[in-house]
Structure 1
Amino acid sequence: MRSRNVFFLSTDGDSMGGSQRVIHTLAQGLGSRGHNVTLISINPSRQPQTYVADPVYRHTTLYDTPAPESTGRALPWRRGRLRRTPEEVAAARRKLLRLTDRTRDGYLVIASPWAAHWIADLPMPHIAKVGQYHQSYTEAVDSPNLRLIKKHYAHFDKALFLCDDYAASFTGHRLANCGTMLNPVSVFPEKAAPLRNPRIVSAGRLVRVKRIDLLIDAFAAAAPAVAEPWELHIIGGGPLRAALEAQAARTGLGDRIVFRGQVENIEAEYLDASIVTLSSDFEGWGLVLAEGAACGLPAVACDASAGVRTLVEDGDNGILAEPGNAGSFAAALERLMSDAELRQRMGSRGRERMREYRLPRVLDRWEALFDELDR
C-alpha cells in the first residue's frame, strides 16, 4: 500500500466529543500505516482534549483564537463569518490552501456540513474530497444540515454516513455518491470485562440531549428492586453537572450514584463495569455503546436512531428502551441487573459484533476507498 496524503478538516478537532475522538483515532491509525496525515481544525478549542498521547500525524488550526461565543440566533455556519473580521477569515483560508498546495494529490476528509460550507469556494482541484456526517438523518432533517449536505456533499467525490440506513435516506435526496463508513473503536482489550462488578457506566457530555436526568431516574427506580448494591458511574463533564448531582442526591441512594468527571483511561472504566448505557433523546451513533461492547458489556440504550440500532440489537447484545421514557429504561436496567447469565450472553454477543469496528478493519476500508477514488 503506497503512502497517501490525507487531510482531515474539522470545525473543532480538539473539543470534547465522540466525533473528535474518532477523527484523532483515524489520523493516528493511518499515520501508523505510513500515510502522511494532517488533522486541521478550523477553530482551536476553548477546552482542548488530548485524544492521542504520542501522535504520528500533524495537527494545526486555521484560526489563532477560539470561535467567538455566539449570541442571538445566527445560524452556526454564519456565526464565525459574522464575528470574525474579513482579514481573519482570509488569513485562515490562505493557510488551508498553503497546507493542501504542498501536495500534488491527496484526500481531504471534511468532517461536518459547516466545514464543507466554509471551504465551498476554495480552489483545490488536485485534492479528492470526502464529506462525512457524524449525526443521524433525522438530525439533519430537523436542522440546517440537510440543506448544507445537499448543497455541498453532492459535489464531493464521496459522501460518507454512519450506517446503510442513513446512506439510503440521503441518496433519496439525489446524492448519487453516498456510502457507509464505520467509526472505529479505539479500545478492544485482549480479555473482556468479567462482569462481576455491580456497576453501570455512562460516558459523555453532561448536556441536555444526553438525558442523564432520565438515566438517574431510571436507576433510582430499578436499584431498589435488585438485591445487589449496584452503582451508577457517570463519566464526563458539562454544564449540567451541578443540577444532576443535586438530582442524584434527592434519590436517597447516597454514594451509589458517582460523578467521575473526566478519566484518563476509559477502557479501564468499561472493564470495571457490567452494563453500559446511552440515554440520549437523539444520537447519530453512540461511541460509548461501541466501546462498551468492545469491552464485553451488554447495553441498555434508548432506541434513538438507526445508528444506535446498528450497535445494539434488542435482545441480542442489549436492550433498547423507548426514548424519553424513564420507566422503560428502568425496566431494561432491572432486567440486566438481576440476571448475570443474560449479562454474560449479551456481553459476549456485543464483543463479537464489534470485531468489524476494530481499527485495523476500518483502516482497511479507508484504504479501499482511496483506491476507489484513484480509479
Structure 2
Amino acid sequence: MTQREIFFVANEVNELGGVGRWQTQMARLLAERGHRVRIIGVSPPEVAMDLGPNPPFETLTLYDRRPPGRHPRHALVDRWDPALRRQEADRRAAAERLSRVFRAARSGAVIIVTQVWAMEWVALADTAGHPVIGMSHESFDASRRSSRFERVRTYYKDVDRLLVLTQEDADLWVGAGLNNVGFMPNPLPVTPGSPSPRTEKVVASIGRLSHAKGVDLLLDVWAEAAPLQPGWILRVYGAGDHEAVLRQQCTELGLDDSVEWAGQTDDVTGALRRSSVFVQSSRGEGFPLVLLEAMACGVPCAAFDCSPGVREIVTDGEDGLLARHGNTSELARHLVRLMADENLRDTMGERARQNVRRFAPDVITRRWEELFDFLER
C-alpha cells in the first residue's frame, strides 16, 4: 500500500453535521492506515464539532472569519468597487496559501474537496499535478433544487473524479453533462459490540429540528400511529430553530403524553440501544449516517424513501420499511407494523445488523485507496 499525503479541503475543518462527521471519520481511518492527512477549512465554524484529544491529522483554516460569497458582476463599474477588489484580493491570497501547501506535498498526494464552496478556492490554487477529487454529499435532486447544482457543474467539471453517494446519483450527473463521475458510499460510523435488545417501547428520531428533517411530518405520522399502539413513546433527539413551533404542534395534536423531547445527544449509539424502532421523516437526504448507525445497533428502520441514499441503505421489506416520500399515512402504518410485531422487529433488526456490514470502515477505506492508485496511473 502506498502511503500518501491526503488533503481534505472543506468549508470548515470541524463543521457540526453529517459532512463534518464523515470528514473526521475518513481522516482518522486514512491516518490509521499510515497516510499523512490534513484537513483544510476555508472559514472557522459557526458551531464547532469536538475533534477529540490529539486527532491523528493536521488542520489549517484559511480565514479568521467567514468570507463573503462571490457575487456576479453586472456592470463594468463593479470592478472598481474598493470592497469587491479587497474581497477578490483576499480570495487570491487564500488560494495562494493553498498553493504553497500543495506545492510542498510529495508526489502521490491527493486533494479531496468535500464541498463545492471550498472548490472555489481550490480552483484558484496551483494543485501541482496532484489528483483532485470533488465531492457532493447530497442527492442529485437535492442539488438540482439549490444553487449548488450550477456550481457543481461549473467547478467540478474538470476535476479528476467527481464522487457522489450512489450509482443512481452518478448516472443522473452523467445525464446532466458531467463525464468524470463515480460514487462512494459513506462508511459505517459505529460498530457497536452488542445490539439493542429491542425491549423498550420507544421509537427514536435523531436529527436537527429543521424543515429538512421533517419532524413536523413525523408528528403527523405519530398522531396516526400512537393511538393504535398505546404505551409506546416517540423520543425525539435533536435541537434547532424549529423546536418551539414543533412543541406547539405536538401539543395541538394532543401528543404531549407520548412524545419526549430528549434534546441533542452526543451518545447516538446509546440512544439507539435504548430504542426498538428508528424512524426518519426527512424531506431530503444524501446518505444518512444515522440510518447506518441504527442498523448497526440492530434497530429496524421506518423511513421516507426520499433519496437514492436511503434506498441504497435500507432494503424495503427485508431489513426495514420505506414509505413513499411524504406519505405520512404509509409511514404511520409501517411504524404500527413494527411496534405491534416483536418477531418482525427482531427479524428485521438482525438482518439490518448483518446487511449494513457492507459499509464497514475497512471496506470503504480500501475502496478509497484503490481510487487513489487508479488516479495515479
> What is the TM-score normalised by the length of structure 1?
0.91
Kindly provide the amino acid, as one letter, of the partner of residue 91 in structure 1.
A
Structure 2 partner of 1:127: 130
Question: CA contact under 8 A between 2:103 and 2:126: conserved in structure 1?
Answer: no
Kindly provide the amino acid, as one letter, of the partner of residue 96 in structure 1.
L
Structure 1 partner of 2:355: 353
Structure 2 partner of 1:78: none
Query: Matched residues in 1 for 2:45 and 2:353: separation?
Result: 33
Query: Matched residues in 2 for 1:67 and 1:296: separation?
Result: 43
Distance 1:276-1:83 versus aligned 2 partners, 3 A rule: farther
TM-superposed CA distance for 1:154, in Å, is: 2.6
Distance 1:88-1:259 versus aligned 2 partners, 3 A rule: farther
Confirm or deny that 1:175 pairs with 2:153.
Answer: no
Query: Matched residues in 2 for 1:316 and 1:83: separation?
Result: 58
Structure 1 partner of 2:10: 10
TM-superposed CA distance for 1:92, in Å, is: 2.2
Confirm or deny that 1:66 pairs with 2:58.
Answer: no
Larger radius of gyration: 2
Among 309, 316, 319, the residue aligned to 1:314: 316
Structure 1 partner of 2:102: 100
Among 245, 248, 251, the residue aligned to 1:249: 251
Q: Secondary structure at the match of 1:19?
A: helix
- Once the two structures are superposed, residues 167-210 of structure 1 have per-residue CA deviations (whole angstroms, 9 ceiling, x without a partner) of 11112234232211110121111222111111111111111111
TM-superposed CA distance for 1:278, in Å, is: 1.3
Question: CA contact under 8 A between 2:226 and 2:258: conserved in structure 1?
Answer: no
TM-superposed CA distance for 1:52, in Å, is: 4.4
- Once the two structures are superposed, residues 92-147 of structure 1 have per-residue CA deviations (whole angstroms, 9 ceiling, x without a partner) of 22322232222133111011222223322322132210011111111222223332
Q: Secondary structure at the match of 2:299?
A: coil
Listed as ranges, the matches of 1:1-375 within 5 Å are 1-67=1-67, 85-105=87-107, 106-227=109-230, 229-375=231-377
Question: CA contact under 8 A between 1:21 and 1:51: conserved in structure 2?
Answer: no
| Percentage of identical aligned residues | 34
Kindly provide the amino acid, as one letter, of the partner of residue 326 in structure 2.
G
Unaligned runs of 5+ in 2: 73-82
Q: Secondary structure at the match of 1:154?
A: coil
Q: Secondary structure at the match of 1:209?
A: coil
Distance 1:83-1:327 versus aligned 2 partners, 3 A rule: farther
Question: CA contact under 8 A between 2:13 and 2:60: conserved in structure 1?
Answer: no
Distance 1:279-1:84 versus aligned 2 partners, 3 A rule: farther
TM-superposed CA distance for 1:284, in Å, is: 1.9
Q: Secondary structure at the match of 2:261?
A: strand
Q: Alignment RMSD, CA only?
A: 2.2
Unaligned runs of 5+ in 1: 76-80
Query: Matched residues in 1 for 2:56 and 2:113: separation?
Result: 20
Query: Matched residues in 2 for 1:236 and 1:83: separation?
Result: 42
TM-superposed CA distance for 1:74, in Å, is: 6.4
Query: Matched residues in 2 for 1:146 and 1:363: separation?
Result: 28
- Once the two structures are superposed, residues 29-64 of structure 1 have per-residue CA deviations (whole angstroms, 9 ceiling, x without a partner) of 111111100111111111111254541111221111
Question: CA contact under 8 A between 1:225 and 1:334: conserved in structure 2?
Answer: yes
Kindly provide the amino acid, as one letter, of the partner of residue 55 in structure 1.
P
- Once the two structures are superposed, residues 154-177 of structure 1 have per-residue CA deviations (whole angstroms, 9 ceiling, x without a partner) of 311111110111111112234232
Query: Matched residues in 1 for 2:363 and 2:256: separation?
Result: 44
Kindly provide the amino acid, as one letter, of the partner of residue 25 in structure 2.
T
Query: Matched residues in 2 for 1:121 and 1:46: separation?
Result: 25
Q: Secondary structure at the match of 2:2?
A: coil
TM-superposed CA distance for 1:290, in Å, is: 1.2
Query: Matched residues in 1 for 2:22 and 2:210: separation?
Result: 20
